[in-house]
């Protein structure tokens, strides 16, 4: 038995539900929708969620705490600015806040909870999204045994975006117990199955890996494997992006390439959005699911990513 299999066994059934268990959850009625989830919504350890036909433009973000979300939307005349139909698509403005009831709703058993994250395509477009549920004090956290509707807050930051009902901007994970592993066990898993690789697909030795409440990765400022480009910065005055038109746009309309700096450092401008190339590649064993840390004050006053799953 490998260390990875042994670690999974020691968790005693706790952890993230994989795709075949998510399909079983749909069949059992834990996840439901007017149109059942399609095969393309199931990812290895998460389910893509779909926008409903109506969006609310809000004055500001909010958490419902002790109230149902819909009650806050219907009962507070100062909260909702406008209602937008997404049936034929609608353009969401940069810096504005919108709330969309999702097609999927939940009836979770008491031992199952949920977590939500933006999809990677959503994160790469600097679309800030997070889920809220009825009577919750936290974003993106779905309480064990939750029964009710899911709502997605959407706030485009760098690009105006056009969205349609049925589009998927975020994803859901279902979890049982505490499946997190500590650095000691993570190091043993890495020793058995390397997790990080260099540009030539060679394993990074465990002695060179940095463990600090997880596995640390860096930014590649050399540009060696990317023709001298270390990343991209969002254009300050871009056109709108229709999320349904995949492969349609010229990237140069939206992104400024960043060339390799003359020294081993690069200064980020405040209030600009960057996509940078990682120094390492990662490979997750099939018995595990990984999640990136959104914000770590110890590593800097900066949000490092949107899509953690």
Model confidence pLDDT, tens digit, residues 246-261: 989 999 999 999 999 9
Q: How far apart are alpha carbons 128 and 88 in whole angstroms?
A: 22
Q: Which residues of the chain have pLDDT under 70?
A: 1-13, 76, 295, 297, 299, 307
Identify whether 135 is part of a domain: yes
**Mean pLDDT, the chain, integer:** 92
Q: How far apart are alpha carbons 199 and 271 in whole angstroms?
A: 30
Identify whether 305 is part of a domain: no
Whichever domain contains 124, its CATH number is 2.70.40.10
Identify whether 198 is part of a domain: no
Transcribe 65-125 into DSSP letters: TTS-HHHHHHH-TTTEEEEEE-SS-EEEPTT-EEEEEEEEEEE--TTEEEEEEE-HHHHHT
Identify whether 160 is part of a domain: yes
Q: What pLDDT is stored for residue 297 in this prediction?
A: 67
Identify whether 30 is part of a domain: yes
Q: What pLDDT is stored for residue 14 in this prediction?
A: 84
Q: What pLDDT is stored for residue 3 in this prediction?
A: 47
Q: What is the pLDDT of residues 152-165, one digit of tens each?
A: 999 999 999 999 99
Domain residues for the domain of 53 are 12-176
Q: What pLDDT is stored for residue 225 in this prediction?
A: 86
Q: Domain total for the chain?
A: 1
Identify whether 22 is part of a domain: yes
* Strand 241-242 with 161-163, pairing: parallel
Identify whether 104 is part of a domain: yes
Identify whether 153 is part of a domain: yes
């Amino acid at each position: 038995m490998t260390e990875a299999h042994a670690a999974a066994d020691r968790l005693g059934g706790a952890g993230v539900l994989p795709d075949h268990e998510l399909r079983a959850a749909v069949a059992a009625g834990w996840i439901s929708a007017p149109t059942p989830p399609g095969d393309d919504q199931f990812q290895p350890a998460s389910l893509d969620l779909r926008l409903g036909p109506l969006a609310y433009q809000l004055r500001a973000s909010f958490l419902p705490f002790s109230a149902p979300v819909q009650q806050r939307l219907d009962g507070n005349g100062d909260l909702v600015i406008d209602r937008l139909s997404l049936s034929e698509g609608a353009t969401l403005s940069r810096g504005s806040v919108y709330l969309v009831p999702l097609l999927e709703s939940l009836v979770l058993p008491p031992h199952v909870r949920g977590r939500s994250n933006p999809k990677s395509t959503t994160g790469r477009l600097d679309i800030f999204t997070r889920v809220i549920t009825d009577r919750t004090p936290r974003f993106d956290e779905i309480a064990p045994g939750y029964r009710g509707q899911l709502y997605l807050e959407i706030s485009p930051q760098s690009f105006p975006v056009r969205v349609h009902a049925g589009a998927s901007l975020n994803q859901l994970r279902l979890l049982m117990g505490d499946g997190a592993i500590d650095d000691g066990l993570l190091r043993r898993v890495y020793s058995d199955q390397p997790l990080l690789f260099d540009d030539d697909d060679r394993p990074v030795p465990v002695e060179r890996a940095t463990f600090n409440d997880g596995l640390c990765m860096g930014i590649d400022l050399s540009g060696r494997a990317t023709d001298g480009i270390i990343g991209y910065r969002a254009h300050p005055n871009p056109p709108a992006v229709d999320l349904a038109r995949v492969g349609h746009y010229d990237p140069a309309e939206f992104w400024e390439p960043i060339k390799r700096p003359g020294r081993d450092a690069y200064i980020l401008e405040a209030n600009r959005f960057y996509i940078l190339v990682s120094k390492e590649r990662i490979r997750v064993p099939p018995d595990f699911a990984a999640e990136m840390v959104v914000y770590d004050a110890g590593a800097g006053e900066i949000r490092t990513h949107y899509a953690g799953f």
